[in-house]
Amino acid sequence: MSPSLRTTRLKLDAFTADDAVELHALFADPDTHTIGSGPFTAFEQTERWIANRVTAQHDHGLCWYALRCLETGLMIGNCGMLTGRTGFEEPEIGYMIHAPHRDRGYATEAAAAVLQQCQAAGLRRVWASIRPHNIASRHIVTRLGMRLGRTDNDERGELLFYVIDLHSR
């Protein structure tokens, strides 16, 4: 995957250690970081998160991007691919938008660009795991053309797995 992308309104750059301060402001915000183990309370959690994404890019070519508004240069979120629960051959897409910048279509715009990169890289299938109560995220993936593929449970409850077959796009 390319380390840098552009959309109509966003610049997407692969994360580096230099992004940790800006990203931690988003990860420490309880209104923004509502999934996984968020919000982060320690800066080291953000540094470790970035290091894990850099390793995934090196090892598997999967890229996680800092999303910056083209107009302001401000980091407004992140989006990218991870091996997650589905493995690196059929990775998961994820995204997070800083709460003050939500409801403007940024997640859909960024995720569409990332899916194009996945298709260009030869990936056949991409997944998204979403909690049933996360209606906004479910709307995003359906706008991207993803469909419910299966459901599962983990230690925190039900997970919906949405999927898109990139070779049929």
Q: What are phi and psi of 14, to 5 degrees?
A: -55, 140
The Cα–Cα gap between 169 and 150 comes to: 20
Nearest Cα neighbor of 20 from 63, 40, 42, 50 is 50
In the block, residue with structure tokens 């407004």: 76
What pLDDT, on a 0 to 100 scale, did the predictor assign at position 169?
A: 61
The Cα–Cα gap between 27 and 119 comes to: 29
**Range 4-168: architecture per CATH:** 3-Layer(aba) Sandwich (3.40)
- Stretches where the chain sits below pLDDT 70 are 169
Residue boundaries of the structural domains of the chain? 4-168
Residue type, 99: A
What pLDDT, on a 0 to 100 scale, did the predictor assign at position 38?
A: 79
